Amino acid sequence: MTLPDTPLHSVLYDGWSLIYQPNSPQSLHLLAILSCRLEGFQGFLALPGEPPDWLPPVETTRVIFTANMPRNRLVWEQRILPGLRRELEADLLHLTSPTPPLFGPAVNVVSPSGFGGSHRVGGFSSRLRQAVSQGGMARLAGLFWPDDLPDPKGMGAVYRLPPAIPVEFFDLGSKPGDRQLDESLDLPEAYVLYHGPAEETALRRLLNAWSWVAGSVGEMYPLLAIGLEDESRKKLDVLAASFDLSETVRSLPAMPPKDLGLIYQRCVAVLHPGDDSPWGGPVRLALASGKPVVSQVSEHMDALVGPAAYLVKDGEARALGAALITVLAEEEIAERLSQLGRQRAEAWSLETFSQGLLAAYQDMLSKQNK
């Protein structure tokens, strides 16, 4: 007897970030997931807008047009996604933001991506989103967590998976698109890269550190910020002017995620004053790209980078600035950090992540069927 060539199970993925935050950790981690081969599983992708041309092939994509507004985001997560999961009869709903639905069967899975705090600001809809998300997180089918980070606090069903990043950050070499990318974005010859949180407190922390650097090296190595939405880019411009740093600070608009690997390749260092995202974060991307990282000491960061970054205690602005100047001025230190970063990233592969992801999906479904 020949068995039908159909998937045994299916997963619905939340693609909001692919449309509205394509350069965010949520989007980059989802792209890594969508690149996996999961035998026996069919993937459904929910999008709030038309699929971009850079999106990898997905077996089934459903577009439900939803404008990028706080209230709509809440409706998307709490009503549209659960309804679509029921309609498609998907076994699991997988999100890359810690904002799962509060009601309905507990078939929700989260790979927490992002820097925390971004969905906790704003008006009533944002605060309500935080409140209902906390309830949804308390009844997850599973939380996926990188196996090289300390255990998340206060979580139940945690599945440890090998780290993974999008394939664009491996084996970049010299690509034909390099020159075209430079011309279209008018990139500096060399720059310090920031790809971190976008809320005002984070941008102020960044500029405080940069203010200790700009006078000596800013003309040669300006600060380039990516991953900011339009409102945050405007906020950065206003803050940079107030710090008298406008001439050495600029940001780029959203770009196809495939171009981010080249943006990382061309930078001289990554400045990240804060903790990294568990999945899809800039520190992990920098290590895989062989770029020195300047950040601050924390349990999370220590576990992630080991000796492959220049960390300062307490994230004090002057100390961060001094560390960055050291990395830029001391070629031996920068090269050693680059080599250690590449070595650390050698064990990260989509293949091992795919195997762990498949096993986690299977385990969750087996527990639900008991």
* DSSP reduced 3-state for 148: coil
Burial class (CB in 10 A: 0-12, 13-18, 19+), 171: exposed
The pLDDT of residue 6 is 54
* DSSP reduced 3-state for 170: coil
Q: Which residue is listed with tokens 């991953």?
A: 227
Distance, in Å, from the CA atom of 33 to the CA atom of 37, rounded to the nearest integer, reads 9
* DSSP reduced 3-state for 276: coil
Strands (E), 104-242: 108-110, 142-146, 158-161, 192-194, 223-225
The pLDDT of residue 328 is 97
Domain boundaries defined on the chain: 9-164+349-363, 167-345
Per-residue tokens: 333: 């230190």
CA 46, 52, 53, 58: dihedral to nearest 10 degrees? -10
pLDDT tens for each residue of 244-271: 999 999 999 999 998 898 899 999 999 9
Distance, in Å, from the CA atom of 280 to the CA atom of 18, rounded to the nearest integer, reads 13
Residue 246 per-residue DSSP state: G
Longest Cα–Cα distance in the chain: 75
The pLDDT of residue 102 is 85
Q: Which residue is listed with tokens 């300006």?
A: 222
Distances (CA, A) of 166 to 171, 214, 238: 11, 32, 33
The pLDDT of residue 366 is 87
- Name the CATH superfamily for 167-345: Glycogen Phosphorylase B; (3.40.50.2000)
Per-residue tokens: 209: 């550190």
Distance, in Å, from the CA atom of 43 to the CA atom of 24, rounded to the nearest integer, reads 21
DSSP string, 299-348: HHHHHHHTTSSEEEGGG-HHHHHHHHHHHHH-HHHHHHHHHHHHHHHTT-
Residue 246 has phi, psi (to 5 degrees) of -60, -35
Residues in the chain with pLDDT < 50?
Answer: 1-4, 118-120, 172-179
The pLDDT of residue 84 is 96
The CATH code for residues 9-164+349-363 is 3.40.50.2000
Per-residue tokens: 103: 């009601």
The pLDDT of residue 27 is 96
Length of the chain: 370
The pLDDT of residue 168 is 65
- Which residues have a Cβ under 8 Å from the Cβ of 145 and sit 6 or more positions away? 112, 151, 152, 155, 158, 159, 160, 161, 278
Q: CATH topology of 9-164+349-363 equal to that of 167-345?
A: yes
